[in-house]
């Protein structure tokens, strides 16, 4: 039984002449949490965005639950991308919709699900992220931490198999980081497969099953959090960790 949820083979991406990353091979099993760390510009966000086709890789393949992402077939891409929820650094909530509408929108528009079924699920999810008192607020009335929790609920309402987090706490005031990380920790505990690009080393240590250190468009080192944080093999990893911790 193959329990690989998502896998990349030789993934390569450049913007014009700038090589963002080259030949990245990653494998994440069901229920695993992969945390990608590394300095800015190391290609980790772009890598994450290639997984759900927000960026088109130049070469290499992305395999989701055994299915190769066919970059030329739009319908196929949409169907596969639906299995992945994404949380952005800048939340990207829909400002013209209330919190509840934000969470309900995609299942109704994309999956054509029944309104009352989605409503029930959306309310449960918003309760889970601690925002059941904000259902009818517009995003502009929320704090950054609240916005990001809505964004997580919005992604979860599509019932994804994999959650992608692109620096989810980088745009937050320090005192609001914890509430978002807590939601993510609970999600990991429930067995969600997650790929998280972050600078939160504490989160990586506590939650990650596997940590990847990326620099200069390459995977410099990968291993368990213990290996990476307590006993890094590569000097570049060590230098980076000394700077951030």
**Residue 242 to residue 127: CA distance in whole angstroms:** 39
Q: Binders of other proteins among 93-112, rule CB under 8 A?
A: 93-96, 105-106, 109-111
**Min. distance of Cβ 164 from other proteins in angstroms?**
8
Between residues 159 and 209, which has the closer beta carbon with respect to other proteins? 159
- Name the minimum Å distance from CB 55 to other proteins: 10
Task: Kindly tell me the burial class for residue 75, based on how many C-beta atoms sit within 10 Å of its own C-beta (0-12, 13-18, 19 or more).
Answer: exposed
Tokens read off for 222: 């990968």
Residue number, 140 or 235, with CB nearest to other proteins: 140
Q: Judged by CB, which is closer to other proteins: 54, or 119?
A: 54
Give the separation between CA 184 and CA 178, rounded to whole angstroms. 10
Three-state DSSP at 108 gives helix
* CA–CA dist 228, 148 (Å, integer): 28
DSSP bridge pairs for 4: 29
Q: How far is the CB of 144 from other proteins (least distance, A)?
A: 14
Q: Verify binding: residue 181, other proteins, rule CB under 8 A.
A: no
Distance CA 12, CA 29 (A): 22
Q: Which stretch binds other proteins (CB under 8 A): 29-37, 38-46, 60-68, 85-93?
A: 85-93
DSSP strand pairing (33-37 vs 210-215):
parallel
- C-alpha span between 55 and 220 (Å, rounded): 22
Query: SS3 of 1, please?
Result: coil
Binding to other proteins, residues 130-159 (CB under 8 A): 138-140, 154-155, 158
178 binds other proteins per the rule CB under 8 A: no
Binding positions for other proteins, rule: CB under 8 A: 52-54, 78-79, 81-82, 84-86, 88, 90, 92-96, 105-106, 109-111, 138-140, 154-155, 158
């Amino acid at each position: 039984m193959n329990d690989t949820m998502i896998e990349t083979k030789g993934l390569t991406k450049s913007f014009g002449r700038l090589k963002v990353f080259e030949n990245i091979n990653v494998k994440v099993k069901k229920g695993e949490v992969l945390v990608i760390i590394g300095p800015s510009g190391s290609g980790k966000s772009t890598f994450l965005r290639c997984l759900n086709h927000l960026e088109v890789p130049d070469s290499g393949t992305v395999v989701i639950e055994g299915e190769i992402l066919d970059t030329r077939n739009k319908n196929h891409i949409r169907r596969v991308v639906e299995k992945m929820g994404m949380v952005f650094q800048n939340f990207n909530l829909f400002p013209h919709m209330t919190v509840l509408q934000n969470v309900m929108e995609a299942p109704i528009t994309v999956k054509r699900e029944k309104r009352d079924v989605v409503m029930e699920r959306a309310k449960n999810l918003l309760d889970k992220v601690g925002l059941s008192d904000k259902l009818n607020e517009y995003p502009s009335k929320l704090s950054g931490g609240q916005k990001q929790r809505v964004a997580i609920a919005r992604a979860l309402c599509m019932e994804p198999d994999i959650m992608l987090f692109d620096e989810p706490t980088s745009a937050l005031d320090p005192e609001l980081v914890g509430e978002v990380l807590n939601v993510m920790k609970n999600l990991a505990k429930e067995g969600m497969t997650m790929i998280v690009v972050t600078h939160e080393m504490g989160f990586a240590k506590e939650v990650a099953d596997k940590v990847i250190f990326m620099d200069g468009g390459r995977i410099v080192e990968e291993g368990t959090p213990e290996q990476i944080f307590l006993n890094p093999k590569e000097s570049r990893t060590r230098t980076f960790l000394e700077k951030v911790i």
